[in-house]
A and B are shown apart, each in its own frame.
Chain A
């Protein structure tokens, strides 16, 4: 993959609301053509950061650059960005076509040309022939599409999406996720999505910035974020992670020797300890699916230990087992894909568990 040019650069961006420090030194770059997500709990500053790109929020210090140009003093209506609002902000007194063509009003196009562009934009979002409908009669998913068409018709350099799927029901949301990805590939515009839904961010993004309290905690692609979170907080925000206390025995030549409760001695690569010290005491973390319960006749490919099953949660395609590994006093969660013909284990059963040092993450 060739390196894409930078589209957006945040340079030590700060934002204060009187006493409240909403953005605390954001420095990051977003590449052209990237599907980038700002992920975090509510109040972490992700929407504020998005609005500094659009120009709806000024910044207290630092710089926001779009395509190499400093946006200081450039008002929202002159920035090469368009936004899809959380409420969609469809103009209720206009038709669908008038909504979509709204941004071209100032372009001074001939009527036929405008109509052609509106039709093209509507076709792109799957609303062909909806132009004459009243905007207020649309369903939530349709409003969402109109908002997309209205923003994309101007061919912005950056499309900003402020929690665009949060108002939709689960099924519609999943469908729109796929459509947004398809649309982004088709138009090639940089998409920046704000979301509090980690699953949505993982599914859709090329890269994700996880934000807590006005700071970026980690910026990485979804796989790195999931496999190598750099703090316990990021690990717990994205999916589920188990933690067991551990101690670093020695560290040399890019290898770290640890002694972890329940696992014993293990040798980790330096990249398995991506985070700085957090002060919570050293621990190893691992995802529920990286441990495997061994059934009759199965053998571990790497390492093996024993455990007692304390809780069983059956999910149809999956079963979650809360198990206590030999020598530990806290249950950890293991998720197992259910296989036809294989029994679901009972509470209290003793079992063997396979694990691999490569799946561990060390938090110091």
Chain B
């Protein structure tokens, strides 16, 4: 049978990828403390337990604050860098862009430890802002990559045309450039938001006394009784990720349709 093995491979691959994630909601709704088959019946009690857990709420709040702030800052920096790299020529451009992209491949634990050493050396107190600093550092390469392609796709004569028709540099940016790169900006915001939300290592080292959600989850695994609650939390996070990705993809496609481009497959 032609392609038979390929089918087996594809199904095996998908199972390996998604089976663990399917287990999450199964145990989250399971009416038992112990994570094991057979399932004991349907219950939503782990979800209500999750909502009543004050430490979790604080961790969630911290994580959301960090993720939102990080995505805004990283995207803003990404806009500047992408604009500079696609529009201007300056000495050492390739080298500088390479350095900016480096955190993409640096081991995160090295980044985290060196940041910690530097911050402590400077006498900075660890707080949510130090986590944000670390997250902006690792998110910015992603936002630059996304936004560079958005800015690259922009025909430079569009800007000149707007300028030629009497607009200023600022109004040209607002009326022409911003609407055309908006899909890129939205994907950049969403990607950096998700990266920051589930980032563990940097948050673990730099959070001080205020845990983020991943750090909280990690700490809870020491208590067997808390595991079903974590399953419930995981279910919520998976759903949230799917929704965010769907939104990002929607905006990407709408952007392509709006500017009349060809869909060449997105980042997502």
Contact = CB atoms under 8 A, between A and B. Distances in A.
Contacts of A105: 166-167
Interface in B123-175: 155, 157-158, 160-168
A102 B260 contact: no
Contacts of B180: 92-93
B176 interface: yes
Contacts, number: 64
Contacts of A54: 160, 164
A89 B160 contact: yes
B222 interface: no
B259 interface: yes
Contacts of A205: none
A154 interface: yes
A85 B165 contact: no
Interface string A60-89: 000000000000000111100111011101
A137 interface: yes
A320 interface: no
Given A77-B166, A106-B166, A154-B166, A89 B161 contact: yes
A92 B259 contact: yes
A82 B164 CA distance: 6
A14 interface: no
Contact of B165 (A56, A102, A134): A102
B208 interface: no
B166 A93 contact: no
B162 A93 contact: no
A364 interface: no
A92 B163 contact: no
Interface residues of A, number: 27
Contact of A91 (B158, B160, B164): B158
B98 interface: no
A136 B166 contact: no
A272 to B, nearest CB: 44
A103 interface: yes
Interface in A183-239: none
Interface string A125-136: 000000000111
A324 interface: no
Contacts of A145: none
Contacts of A154: 165-166
Contacts of A157: none
A87 B157 contact: yes
A143 to B, nearest CB: 11
Contacts of A87: 155, 157
A82 B165 contact: yes
A85 B166 contact: no
Given A77-B166, A77-B168, A103-B166, A85 B161 contact: yes
Nearest to B255: A93
Interface string B223-261: 000000000000000000000000000000000001110
A85 B160 contact: yes
Interface of A: 54, 56, 75-78, 81-83, 85-87, 89, 91-93, 102-103, 105-106, 134-137, 150-151, 154
20 contacts: A54-B160, A56-B160, A77-B164, A77-B166, A77-B168, A78-B166, A81-B164, A83-B164, A85-B157, A89-B161, A92-B258, A93-B259, A102-B162, A102-B165, A103-B166, A105-B166, A134-B260, A135-B260, A137-B260, A150-B165
Q: Which 7 A-B pairs have the closest CB atoms?
A: A136-B260, A103-B165, A89-B161, A89-B157, A92-B259, A85-B157, A83-B164
